[in-house]
A and B are shown apart, each in its own frame.
Chain A
């Protein structure tokens, strides 16, 4: 998956666990865990909500890298 993120790092800075972050952004703990592992790409709305809670821009939190098809 070409979407990488630094969510775990920023969540740790805030001192929140996955359940607490999930409650703040209206997502389940499982979804936060899937995003951190890179197994789920959140919608723009959810990405913006997470970025707002982490007090950073979406681009700082999520990185998109073009896949090399060669």
Chain B
């Protein structure tokens, strides 16, 4: 790298920092001047969210089950009509069926995370007397049903994937499923999995920076305290630490 390019990169880096600082200052002043109206908007939105948390939870639970079930049912039908691999088998069949199954698994995974968030909201709503205790227990039972149903849908989708890829091992309900699945994958599939993991890891820096700025901006409106910052900090530190540790470790012989 020559001196000119190095200088260009350094100037660009400082411009980014400066730009970020200017945007941050503008947002801070904006929230300070609009504090009262934003406070009202946030508090009414939050109160509405707390009051409607049982209905929202059930709606989200049912809709995600439906969203995960439809592509799974489509994929199952395609696989049932399929005659097995031969040289005439079009790769489009594999790609489309694989996409349907992965979509179903993805929805189930995301649904579980969203349901956990909704459960936290429901608990807060019950403690602040926005929701009746009996209703809380009824929705909790629904949560349990949703989680079990989503897990069973995941298992079904994995079973269908195993029909397409007979060399694959592992049951979705097993404790070490991911490890078994990866161990039974070949080099190309592992590379794809590693590339996806690296992409997810690379996006963490942006996600946590945005989260951190959002939390800072929310301080005037909610009494959020230090805990959310600690959570974001830990979630940022732990994967980064694991990545640095793994990258510096001596590679095992293959």
Interface of A, helix, strand, loop or mixed by DSSP: helix
How many chain B residues touch the partner (CB < 8 A)?
13
A57 within 8 Å of B by Cβ? no
Which residues from A are CB-within-8-Å of B87?
12, 17-18
A53 within 8 Å of B by Cβ? no
A19 within 8 Å of B by Cβ? yes
Chain A residues touching B, range: 20 to 34
Which of A18, A27, A33, A37 interacts with B187 by CB under 8 Å?
Answer: A27
Which residues from B are CB-within-8-Å of A12?
87
The answer to whether A23 and B167 touch across the interface, beta carbons within 8 angstroms, is: yes
B185 within 8 Å of A by Cβ? yes
B165 within 8 Å of A by Cβ? yes
In the assembled complex, the Cα of A13 lies from the Cα of B74 at a distance in Å of 36
B183 within 8 Å of A by Cβ? no
B188 within 8 Å of A by Cβ? yes
* A17-B86, A18-B85, A23-B167 known; A28+B91 contact, CB < 8 A: no
Name the residue of chain A whose CB is nearest to the CB of B91: A33
The answer to whether B85 and A43 touch across the interface, beta carbons within 8 angstroms, is: no
Q: How far is the CB of B149 from chain A (nearest CB, A)?
A: 30
Which residues from A are CB-within-8-Å of B188?
27-28, 30-31, 34, 40, 42
The answer to whether B165 and A28 touch across the interface, beta carbons within 8 angstroms, is: yes
Which residues from B are CB-within-8-Å of A42?
187-188
The answer to whether B186 and A28 touch across the interface, beta carbons within 8 angstroms, is: yes
Which residues from B are CB-within-8-Å of A29?
85, 94, 165
Q: How far is the CB of B101 from chain A (nearest CB, A)?
A: 13
For chain B, residues 146 to 202, give those with C-beta under 8 angstroms from any C-beta of chain A: 165-167, 185-189
Which of B165, B167, B187 interacts with A46 by CB under 8 Å?
Answer: B187
Q: How far is the CB of A29 from chain B (nearest CB, A)?
A: 6
In the assembled complex, the Cα of A70 lies from the Cα of B186 at a distance in Å of 36
In the assembled complex, the Cα of A33 lies from the Cα of B188 at a distance in Å of 11
The answer to whether A17 and B85 touch across the interface, beta carbons within 8 angstroms, is: yes
Name the residue of chain B whose CB is nearest to the CB of A27: B186
Name the residue of chain A whose CB is nearest to the CB of B188: A31
Q: Which residues does A use to contact B, with CB under 8 Å?
A: 12, 17-19, 22-23, 26-31, 33-34, 37, 40, 42-43, 45-46
